[in-house]
Amino acid sequence: MGRLDGKVAIITGAARGIGAATAGIFAREGARVVVTDIAREAGEETAAQIRAQGGDAIFLPVDVTDFASVQTMVEEAQKTYGRIDVLVNNAGVLRDHSLVKMTLEEFDFVINVNLKGVFHCTKAVVPIMIAQGSGVILNASSVVALYGNYGQTNYVASKAGVIGMTKVWARELGPKGIRVNAVAPGFIRTEMTANLPEKVVEMVINRTPLRTWGEPEDIAYAYLYLASDEARFVNGAVLSVDGGVVL
């Protein structure tokens, strides 16, 4: 028996990194997984790997900044599996610069993907969950949303906004049987962080009490717990998974 047996989960940004790890772990725990991403080839590959390991997964392309694209994806997912039990709003981007150097386009792009994208996907999925009388929404925030970070005005604003929306939705949707929570990862070894200068990596590791990076699976297992019935009384929470970096 898997912890997500009978559940259908949509995971955005699931072509690589944390999203792909989450899709794989959810499938191993019995979920039917909708892998969604703007990167079609990598997304198809993630879904194919899950199927090759005996899991049930499909890939659907989506641009989370475009509500029509999101609606189409959600309709296709429901048509395929008949229900939607879990939405993991994982898609995210970085465009780091100090405030003085940050362009208007860089600010808008990050807000549109990381904040507006979460709004779009949740808005499209929630009517289905309300009709079912149950559901789980999980949002990707970040440790920097809680404490700020140099050069990340746009990213921090988007991830802090995600926490705010999480708490509003937990209040609004809880009475309808829908739980809404956020995960705040610390520094995780993904493509997004692969290009950090060695000096920055060293500084981060030295600041982390566990003296190591996190891996995508560390976040995926946090999502697994929150998606499962074990977390049935967890609502409106922000779970930090960061090795203690903010202590």
Q: What is the pLDDT of residues 201-233, one digit of tens each?
A: 787 788 888 988 899 999 999 999 999 999 999
Tell me whether residue 155 is one of the annotated catalytic residues: yes
pLDDT higher than threshold 80 for residue 246: no
**Per-residue model confidence (pLDDT) at position 95:** 92
In sequence order, the 6+-apart residues with CB closer than 8 A to the CB of 194 are none
Percent of the chain past pLDDT 90, that is, above it, reads: 84
**Per-residue model confidence (pLDDT) at position 247:** 61
Kindly state the tokens that stand for 223: 């999502």
Q: What is the DSSP letter of 5?
A: T
**CA gap 211, 221 in Å, rounded:** 20
Residue 185 and residue 214 in contact, taking contact as beta carbons nearer than 8 Å: yes
Task: Residue 180: name the closest of 229, 135, 132 by CA.
Answer: 135
Mean local confidence (pLDDT), 172-181: 98
Residue boundaries of the structural domains of the chain: 8-235
Task: Residue 106: name the closest of 60, 66, 157, 149 by CA.
Answer: 157
Q: Give the helix/strand (H/E) hosting 33.
A: strand 32-37
Q: What is the DSSP letter of 112?
A: I
Burial of 68 (0-12, 13-18, 19+ CB in 10 A): exposed
pLDDT band at 173 (very low <50, low <70, confident <90, very high): very high
**Per-residue model confidence (pLDDT) at position 245:** 84
**Per-residue model confidence (pLDDT) at position 190:** 75
**Per-residue model confidence (pLDDT) at position 203:** 79
pLDDT higher than threshold 90 for residue 28: yes
**Per-residue model confidence (pLDDT) at position 224:** 98
Kindly state the tokens that stand for 96: 């780091």
SS3 content of the chain, % helix, strand, coil (to 5): 50, 15, 35
Percent of the chain past pLDDT 70, that is, above it, reads: 98
Kindly state the tokens that stand for 4: 């997500």
**Per-residue model confidence (pLDDT) at position 140:** 98
Residues 81, 150, 155, 223: which is the catalytic one?
155
Q: What is the DSSP letter of 116?
A: I
**Per-residue model confidence (pLDDT) at position 189:** 81
Q: For 8-235, which CATH class?
A: alpha beta
**CA gap 247, 18 in Å, rounded:** 24
Using alpha carbons only, what angle is made at residue 139 by residues 145 and 28, rounded to the nearest 5 degrees?
130
